[in-house]
Amino acid sequence: MSHTELIACHECDLLQRAVPISAGGTLRCRRCNAELYRSHPNSLERALALSLASFVLFIVSNVFPIVGLSVSGTHVNTTLFGSVRVLYLDGMWPIAGLVFATTILMPALQIGAMLWMLLPLRLHRVPWQAAQVFRVFHLAKPWGMTEVLILGLLVALVKLAHIASIVPGEALWSFGLLMLVLAAASAAFDERALWSRISVVQSPGAEGNGGMALHGAASAAGHHLALCHDCGLLMKLPAQAHDLSCPRCGAMLHLRRPASLSHTWAFLIAAMVLYIPANVLPVMYTSSLFGAQTDTIMSGVVYLWVSGSWSLAVIVFIASVAVPMLKILALSYLVISTQFHSRWLPEQRTRIYRLVEFVGRWSMLDIYVITMLVALVQFQALATIKAGPAAIAFGAVVVLTMFAAMSFDPRLIWDEAEKNHAWTRTQQ
């Protein structure tokens, strides 16, 4: 019997044995091709260095102005927090809260959590409250959207270039660097290496779960093994156990997410209802010396196309119109096929789920464009821009579809597929 560590796939729940891989290599699930883990040489040291750099860039990005506008001797500039403040004072507090959370709060929590855990480990000490901080990191990571903010800034600047002189601020460049450095820090942050290092510091010589034997069922649930989706710990659940938490990070443990399909449907239906006003109602109000104008999401796409920014028009259309609609359709297909116990093409359905999770954040693009336009075009008698009701509806659609994707448990796809004997086998 092999004593190699057992691992379970987060997406299809297939039990497998961890194998050594070369430096920089990736181990993928042999059933659904999901990434299981990567080999990062000196991963924690590189993550610490990049996290420190991200911390410095984050401070610079939020202290200095992002961009300024100059019209007829009048100059207006804004910081990211100043943009949030303008939205709040205009009565658009739901959008202000969403922008604050996704561009300031969550990136700050992500950077702070990595530093909190990595600095003590560098000094060969166990981080204080490591489990709680690790869960904060997992909570913040999907909601930090610095890269989407950068693209939103680019679209906003293209629109503003036709009405005023643009003065790039220091934070514009630091935000660009922050996007790259923070992405590199997250990629270098190896969670397996983190917990392995913590275990070594706490109790040198501790062993993993390699002594378990596999018989019959291919999935972890078939062996009554539960996988923690936060820290990746695989553990045996006692019979008739309820409301158990992970002994390593404290997250709740379940063989499958409770009421996964019901929760997904609830978020999807709410998103479907709000998708209509998000695309029909005005997303922006513009008033100037030449009169007032209302814009919808589609009229903004048309403006970019007519002005010659075809590539940006396509990007905005895909991110703000096509992606939310396709996410709703794709998730509806996944939920319906799972409810009807379909065994049809589980690999392809898992890829659809993976794609939905990946593209979900990019729908925030239009919200960031509106935020910058509202904050910068404040020339009183000359011109002002205010956010419209569609901005709130659209922001809600983005959040609801992200929650829907997070609520759906892709392992349910494979529960039916496993009843087909193709995947019910004993691993050696």
Confidence of residue 241 (pLDDT cuts 50, 70, 90): low
Whether residue 352 has pLDDT greater than 60: yes
pTM of the model: 0.86
By C-alpha distance, which of 250, 273, 253 is closest to 328?
273
Asked if the 258-418 domain carries CATH number 3.10.450, the reply is: no
Which residue would you say has higher pLDDT here, 341 or 408?
408
What does the alpha-carbon distance between residue 334 and residue 326 come to, in Å, rounded to a whole number?
Answer: 12
With a pLDDT cut of 70, the percent of the chain lying above it is 88
Mean pLDDT across the chain, nearest whole number? 83
pLDDT of residue 332: 94
User: Any idea what the Cα angle at residue 285 is, between residues 283 and 289, rounded to 5°?
Assistant: 155
Over the stretch 115-143, which tens digit does the pLDDT of each residue have? 999 999 888 888 888 888 999 998 999 99
Strands 225-227 and 26-28: unpaired
Quote the distance between the C-alpha of residue 372 and its chain's center: 22
What value does the mean pLDDT take over residues 17-39? 82
Give 310: exposed, middle or buried? Use CB within 10 Å, 0-12, 13-18, 19+: exposed
Tokens of 402: 């992200």
Is residue 295 classed as helix, strand or coil in its secondary structure?
Answer: strand
Over the stretch 88-120, which tens digit does the pLDDT of each residue have? 988 889 999 999 999 999 999 999 999 999 999
Give me the sign of the Cα torsion angle 83, 89, 92, 95.
positive
List the chain domain ranges.
42-202, 258-418
pLDDT of residue 379: 57
C-beta neighbour count of 233 within 10 angstroms: 18
pLDDT of residue 426: 37
What value does the mean pLDDT take over residues 169-190? 90
Confidence of residue 292 (pLDDT cuts 50, 70, 90): low
Which residue would you say has higher pLDDT here, 349 or 219?
349
pLDDT of residue 427: 40
> Checking phi first, is residue 257 left (phi over 0); if not, alpha (psi -120 to 50) or beta?
beta
